Amino acid sequence: SPRQNRMSTDNALTVVVLLPSAEWPGLEAKPPLPAGQMHFGTSVEDFDPTILKQAGGVLWVPPASEETLKTLHAALPCCRWVHSFSAGLDSIAGFVRSLSENTHVSNGRGAFSSSLAEFAMTAMLHFNKQIPRCQQNRKTRTWDKFVMNTVRGKTLGLLGYGSIGKATAALGAAFGMNIIVLRRNPGKVEERGSPQPQKTYGFADAEAFYKAADFVVCSLPATAETKHFVSKAAFDAMGPQTVFISLGRGAVVDEKALHAALRSNAISGAALDVFEKEPLPHDSPLWDDEKLLLTAHNADLTEDYFKLGWDTFVRNAESIRASGQPATEVDKMAGY
């Protein structure tokens, strides 16, 4: 039987939550849903038919499968809202595109941006301050009084300028970096309060963007348009001083081209938190790249990860009840 968290009012919002497993650790952090109720399960069979008939929304928790989500959604005649606990929708992109015009989709956008921006800054300083050299000097007891670099005055290139890009821009600006952006819609005006880049490039001007950047932080979502967007041509355009950092989705980066760029010293270094195949295969040549800082898609897996995700879900639920529109709405065709 589904786990339940009931909090009912006259205008209650009923949400069915599709879990990847009954032991999903985020359940421990689940909040009450203000003026609503949540019902939890891992398949359509877990939910009472009465609940399925009245549910106005569904919360998808990855990695629950797209097929299971489709089956569940087909059993929800009143569902007008789908929320993704994560920001990335690439694994359910077909389902999202198939939804009717009057069904809203939202995601966890913004919930995890602060920790990802911190990781990006850490990676920049790791290479800029030559931390591997410092560690090697300690191991070999070498008193190596080298000239220390600074990030102040360097150019931070943000590939994608959503919530992760903006959070990274704020940290970069605090360090005195110049901020440039490459995005699909270069003419888009930023909201007041958002960091304003010194220059914004469109995808057609990608080469000039890469040439101008000392650090490239990629937070693009995985879509048909962005598959291997960071290609051999991109790494060729970067300079030997450039550090490449990938935080969005692994499919955006051509890993063979990255490996070649690191081996040929075409770029200075790279930091990857996401990969084309996860877990990264044991025989991947990336494990052997000494100029690569590698993490296991856990740059945003902080102690408050689940709380942050739930907070964003509740904010969207309250927005749906108040106005019929979610707070972090997704363009269903674009996929983000």
**Quick check: is 278 catalytic?**
yes
Q: Per residue in 240-269, pLDDT tens?
A: 999 999 999 999 999 999 999 999 999 999
C-alpha neighbours within 13 Å on the C-beta side of residue 310: 16
245 strand-pairing partners: 217, 271
**Residue 206's pLDDT is what?**
98
Q: Report yes or no: 47 and 2 within 8 Å, Cβ to Cβ.
A: yes
Measured between its terminal Cα atoms, the distance across the chain in Å is 33
Which backbone phi and psi does 238 adopt, to 5 degrees? -70, 155
Contacts 24+ apart (CB under 8 A), 318-321: 318/34, 320/13, 320/56, 320/57, 320/81, 320/104, 321/11, 321/13, 321/35, 321/36
Task: Write down the pLDDT at residue 131.
Answer: 98
Q: Is 249 a catalytic residue?
A: yes
Catalytic hit among 39, 249, 259, 321:
249
Q: Are 61 and 26 a contacting pair, CB within 8 Å? A: yes
What is the structure's pLDDT at 188?
A: 84
Better pLDDT: 149 or 193: 149
Provide the token pair at 22: 């009954």
Q: What is the pLDDT of residue 84?
A: 99
| pLDDT at residue 3 tops 80 | no
State residue 4's pLDDT score: 43
Pick the catalytic residue: 45, 67, 225, 278?
Answer: 278
Return the pLDDT at 11: 63
How far is CA 139 from each of CA 43, 136, 144, 272, rounded to the nearest angstrom? Answer: 53, 5, 12, 25
303 is catalytic: no
| pLDDT grade for 189, boundaries at 50, 70 and 90 | confident
Condensed to tens digits (0 to 9), the pLDDT of residues 101-152 reads 999 999 999 999 999 999 999 999 999 999 999 999 999 999 999 999 999 9
Q: Give the contacts of 67 (CB within 8 A, at least 6 positions apart).
A: none
Domains of the chain: 3-111+303-323 (3.40.50.720), 113-294 (3.40.50.720)
Question: Dihedrals φ, ψ of 6, to 5°?
Answer: -100, 135
Question: Which entry of 126, 184, 228, 297 is annotated as an active-site residue?
Answer: 297
